Amino acid sequence: MRKTQLIVALAAIGFAGSAFATNGYFSHGYGMKAKGMGGAATAMTSDTFGGANNPASMVWVGDRIDLGADLFSPRREASMTMPGPATFTSESDSNYFVIPEFGYNKLINPNMSLGVSVYGNGGMNTNYPSHPGLGANLLSGVGPLGVDLMQLIIAPTLSYKLNNQHSLGVAPLLAYQRFRAEGLQAFGLANQGYDDSTGFGVRVGWLGKVTDSVSLGAAYASKTRMSKFDKYAGLFAEQGDFDIPSNWNIGLAVQATPQVKVALDFQRINYSDVKSIANPSSNFFTGGLGTNNGAGFGWSDVDAWKLGVEYQYSKNLTLRAGVNRGDNPISPANVTFNILAPGVVQNHLSLGFTYVTASGGELTMAYTHAFSNDVTGAHLLAGVPGGPPAGTTNTIKMHQDAIGIAYSWKM
């Protein structure tokens, strides 16, 4: 038991440098096997990440530990184009992040399991240097411009078989987040360094093996209500509030042949739950920053489709591939604030495999590429006294790559 507790602690510490930005700021998938299948996992029972995907799946997994890490590389670029035209472009210097993953599950009896999934969200991790042509950063502040958001969620799971076909599960979501912003002096915000908050939510799920070859799954996570960022009460709407939005997912898994399994998921992420995320940035002119109706990032809700294929090539080798298509939550009207958080990618392609070692352990790898996407819109302060000239626009752009490795063993 002490070994398990140590692994959980190390995984939690590792998330201190995490960064995601795929389906908004949620990861495209949780668990290395799901990542190799475009994130499809709701009706799958192959690892211990039910706390992030569907807690009802855990009772089918058995006694198991999964431990791994991703090397994640998001490439962010932002520019400002003034009439003339004169374009000033800056690339974020924060390009590489190591992201751990951990899951544990133990059968209490043949019909009940207890476990834990450790996972994270993030992606608002940017660091743009000052542009020499402007004598300032892209938002007219002093020094580097950027934000760093990390969310760590520890999800203990309880999963119970109702019978040989159906199971239910519940996972309390114990959340910790850390945030820092810099370079926003033009908006009246001095650099404050890091601030922390904690909160609680819950995820519930159902899984049904409706035939020998077809499984269905569904899960819902409530809004995780977080304590406020006191240092950033003058930035986030509702005096520093930054909750984690509710989300739900449904999934289908079909054993098409003895060697081929196909999985399809749909996920809805309700960014509109959280004013600091969803309020339009134009609220800056009516509500300022930090008020109940203050400016936000203007993100809309995201629908994500995830399709994956798993092929049992041999007794020891399983191959995977997947695609993920998610909405871009950022409209042209909200581009300026989202220089800080350019979560605009939509299309993802994934590949992966699992190799069973001589000792019975599983070595899993996954690679994902998120294709480049960009959004252009009018500069929020264009034509405003003290702002850039009328007609000035901003463009944000991003693409991503991630490669990960995990090792799993049965206890």
- Taking Cα atoms as reference points, which of 407, 389, 366 lies closest to residue 88? 389
Dihedral angle over CA of 142, 144, 146, 150, nearest 10: -120
Bridge partners for 253 per DSSP: 215, 263
| 298, 301, 307, 308: CA torsion to nearest 10 | 70
Is the CB of residue 344 less than 8 Å from the CB of residue 398? Answer: yes
**Does 2-410 carry CATH code 1.10.760.10?**
no
The C-alpha atoms of residue 120 and residue 49 are separated, in whole angstroms, by: 12
SS3 at position 346? coil
What are the φ and ψ backbone dihedral angles of 303, each rounded to 5 degrees?
Answer: -105, 130
Question: How many other CB atoms are there within 10 angstroms of residue 327's CB atom?
Answer: 18
CA separation for the pair 267, 38 (Å, rounded): 12
How many other CB atoms are there within 10 angstroms of residue 333's CB atom? 14
CA 73 – CA 51 distance, rounded (Å):
25
**Contact yes or no for 287/259 (Cβ under 8 A):** no
Positive or negative, the CA dihedral 184, 230, 244, 18 is: positive
CA–CA separation, 293 and 401 (whole Å): 36
Residue by residue, pLDDT tens for the chain (411 residues) are 444 444 444 444 444 444 556 898 899 999 999 999 999 999 999 999 999 999 999 999 999 999 999 999 999 999 999 998 889 999 998 888 888 899 999 999 999 999 999 998 765 689 999 888 888 899 989 999 999 988 999 999 999 999 999 999 999 999 999 999 999 998 888 999 999 999 999 999 999 999 999 999 999 999 999 999 999 999 999 999 999 999 999 999 999 999 999 999 999 999 999 999 999 999 999 999 999 999 999 999 999 999 999 999 999 999 999 999 999 999 999 999 999 989 999 999 999 999 999 999 999 999 999 999 999 999 999 999 888 899 999 999 999 999 999 999 998
pLDDT computed for residue 1 by the predictor: 44
Show me where the domains of the chain are located.
2-410
Q: What pLDDT is recorded for position 61?
A: 97
- pTM of this prediction? 0.93
How is residue 371 written in tokens?
């294709």
Rounded to whole angstroms, how far apart are CA atoms 322 and 324? Answer: 7
* Ramachandran sector of residue 383 (left: φ over 0; alpha: ψ -120 to 50; beta: rest): left
Instruction: Give me the residue label for tokens 């909405």.
Output: 327
CA distance 61 to 39: 18
Question: What is the number of alpha carbons within 13 Å of residue 130 lying toward its C-beta?
Answer: 14
Cα separation of 319 and 327, whole Å?
27
Q: What are 45's strand-pairing partners?
A: none
Burial label, 299 (beta-carbon count in 10 A; 0-12, 13-18, 19+): buried
Question: Residue 22: what pLDDT?
Answer: 83
CB 267 within 8 A of CB 304: yes
